[in-house]
Chain A
Amino acid sequence: MGSVAAQVHKAQAEDGRRGGRGSPRPRRPRLWRIRAPISRRLSVILAVAGFVLPLALWEAASAAHIVAQLFLPSPADVWASLRHWSHGALGHDTIVSIYRVVAGFALGALIGVPIGLMIGAYRWCAALLQPINDFVRYMPASAFIPLVILWVGIGEGSKIAIIFIGVVFQIVVMVADAVRKVPDSYLEAAYTMGARPGEVMKYVIWRGTWPQIVDILRINMGWAWTYLVVAEMVAADSGLGFAILQAQRFLDTAKIFVGIIVIGLIGLAFDLFFRAMHKRLFPWYRP
C-alpha cells in the first residue's frame, strides 16, 4: 500500500517536473534553490512575518503568565510605557542619542577611512599602523571608559569618544581590506594611460572602493548603536541608553523594552538609508 502511494507520488513529481520545464510558472516557488530570486510581494510578507511572529509569541507567553511580569512585560505594557515616555523625555532622549552616535560614528569615519586608504595603498603605512591598529581593535571599548573620563572628562565628549573608539579601528581594517581588493590590473591600466600615483589613488582606488566604503560605514553605524548604552554609562543624564540603565535601576522592564525597540528602529532606519543610497549611487555595482 505504502509503496504504491510512493510510486504514485513519484510519478506525479516526475510529471510536475516535466510539465514545469516548459510552463511559464513553476508549480511551487523554488525556495530551496540556492540564490533563487523571490517576488517582491513574498519578500515583504516574509519581512513583516519576521516581526509579527516573535510579537505573537511574546503576546502568547505573557498572556499565559509563563514568565513573571517583572521579567517579561506584555506588549500592551510596553505600548503603555512607550506612550508614557513619549509624553515625557523620549523625543529629547532620542535626539541626544542620535547626536552622540552620529557624532562618534562620523568622527570615526572621518579619521578611519583615510587611514584605512593609506594602509591599503602603501605598504609602509601598513607596516607602521596595521599591527598597532589590530592590537587596539581587540580591546573592549567599555574598558576605555575610565581612561576617557580621565582624559576627556564627563561631558558630551566622553560619550562621543566611546562610540568613536568602538568603530574607528574597525573602519580602518575594513577599508584597508577593501583597498587591497582593488585588482592590480586596474591600477596598471591607469598607469599605462599615463596616470600618476596620486591620480590612481583618486580616480581608481577611491572611486573603485566607494561602494565598499559605504557598506562598511553602514555596518559600523550599526555597531555604533550597540556602543550607545556603554557610552551613556558615563555620567549621562539623558539619552536612550541612559534611560535603559535608569529603568533597570527601578525595575521598569517595560521601559527597557521600549528603549531597546526604539534603538532597533532607529538603527533599521539608518540601515535602510544607507542601502537606498548605495543603490542610487552605484547602479553599476555587482558584488
Chain B
Amino acid sequence: MSTPPVRLEGVGKGFVGRDGTFLPVLKGIDMVASSHEFVAIVGASGCGKSTLLRLIAGLDDVSEGTIRVDGRPIAGPGPDRGMVFQQSTLFPWLTVWQNLRFPRALAVNADATSREMWQYLARSHALLDMMGLARVRDSYPNQLSGGMQQRVSIARALVANPAVLLMDEPFGALDAQTREVMHDLILHLFAAEKTTALFVTHDVEEAIYLADRVIVLAPNPGRVDSVHAIPWGRDRTQDLKLDQAFVALKGEILARIRATAAVHADRELMERMTGHGRAPSE
C-alpha cells in the first residue's frame, strides 16, 4: 500500500547529437506520484516533457537514475503503464471495438483466468459506455472525429487496467469546445478509475482543472522547477476556471514557465549574438 505507483530518483536522459556530443535533455528528476493521483506536467516547449513520459513508459532508456512502478524498476514498456499519444495511434485496420479488444489477443494476457477474461470484457463495455463510444463501436478510426479518436485511445489504454496512465498532450490537436468536453469526461472517468495519471500538457488551465498536482519543468536541461498542489477536490465544473483562486494559481504557474523559458531563450540569443559579433572582427 505504501509503495507509490511511480517513483523517479535522479532520472537523467540525454541524446548523442550528430556531432557526437552528449546533449542532456533531463537531469536529476525526482518525482513521486501516489496512488490514484492525477499529476500534470507543464513546461516550456522542448523542456523534455515528452521525453520524461517516454522514459516512464519504457519506450526510451534512462541515462541515469531509476524509475520504479509499483516498487519495481521498469525494464521496457509493459501493460502496467498505458500511454496515450498526441496523435491517434489507433490501428486504422481495426474497428473501435477491435481496437479496445486488441490487448486481449496478446500473450501477456494469455494465461488470464476465465474470471479475469470476463472482467476484461465487462471493462471494455463499461469504458465504451462511459466514454460515449457505444454508437461508434463498429466504426473504423478514420471515420471518427479527432475528439472521438482520442476517447477511444484513452479507453484502449485503460482497458488493461494499468497502474499508471501516461498522456502526452492528448488533447493538443483538438479545438477548445471539444477539449472542454474531454476535460469533464476525464474528471468523470478518473472519479471512477483507480489509475494514477501523469498528464503532459502545455495548457496551464487544462493542467490545473484536471490535476491534483501540477509540476513545472524548467528547460535546458529539463528539471523540476516547482510543484503546485491544487486545492480542489475532483468534482469540478467549468465555473471553477472563473474562480479568483484558480486564476491566481494559473498566473503563478504561467509566471514560473515564463521565467524558466525566458532564461533559456535569452541565453540562446546571447550566445548567438556574441557568436555573430565576434566573427567579422577576426
Contacts and interface: CB of A to CB of B under 8 A. Distances in A.
Contacts of A195: 106, 108
A3 interface: no
Interface in B65-111: 76-79, 81-83, 85, 87, 89, 91-93, 102-103, 105-109
B91 A199 contact: no
Contact of A199 (B107, B156, B157): B107
B103 A194 contact: yes
Contacts of B109: 194
A199 B77 CA distance: 14
A192 B140 CA distance: 21
A28 interface: no
A192 B107 contact: no
Interface string B6-35: 000000000000000000000000000000
Contact of A194 (B89, B92, B108, B141): B108
Interface string A141-183: 0000000000000000000000000000000000000000001
Contacts of A207: 91, 93
Given A191-B59, A193-B160, A208 B93 contact: yes
A192 B157 contact: yes
B142 interface: yes
A188 B92 contact: no
Contacts of B89: 183, 185-186, 188-189
B208 interface: no
Interface in A270-286: 282-286
Contacts of B79: 192-194
Interface in A183-242: 183, 185-186, 188-196, 199, 203-204, 207-208, 210
Interface residues of B, number: 30
A282 B82 CA distance: 28
A258 B41 CA distance: 72
Contacts of B58: 191-192
Interface string B155-177: 01100100000100000000000
B142 A192 contact: no
B93 A191 contact: no
B44 interface: no
B140 A283 contact: yes
B92 to A, nearest CB: 6
A280 to B, nearest CB: 14
Contact of B83 (A192, A210, A283, A285): A192
A194 B160 contact: yes
Contacts of A286: 92, 142
Contact of A186 (B91, B106, B140): B91
B82 A192 contact: yes
B57 interface: yes
Contacts of A284: 92-93, 140-142
Contacts of B106: 193-196, 199, 203
A190 B93 CA distance: 14
Interface string B122-150: 00000000000000000011100000000
Contact of A210 (B93, B105, B160): B93
A122 B57 CA distance: 22
A114 to B, nearest CB: 20
A207 B99 CA distance: 13
Nearest to A196: B107
A118 to B, nearest CB: 21
A77 B124 CA distance: 69
A194 B76 CA distance: 10
A192 B91 contact: no
B38 to A, nearest CB: 19
A192 B69 CA distance: 14
In the A-B complex, the 6 residue pairs with the smallest Cβ-Cβ separation, listed nearest first, are A194-B79, A189-B89, A194-B108, A284-B140, A191-B77, A192-B83
16 contacts: A189-B89, A191-B77, A193-B157, A194-B77, A196-B107, A199-B105, A199-B106, A199-B107, A203-B106, A208-B93, A210-B93, A282-B93, A284-B93, A284-B142, A286-B92, A286-B142
Given A186-B89, A203-B105, A204-B91, 9 more contacts: A189-B91, A192-B77, A192-B157, A194-B78, A203-B102, A208-B91, A208-B92, A284-B142, A285-B93
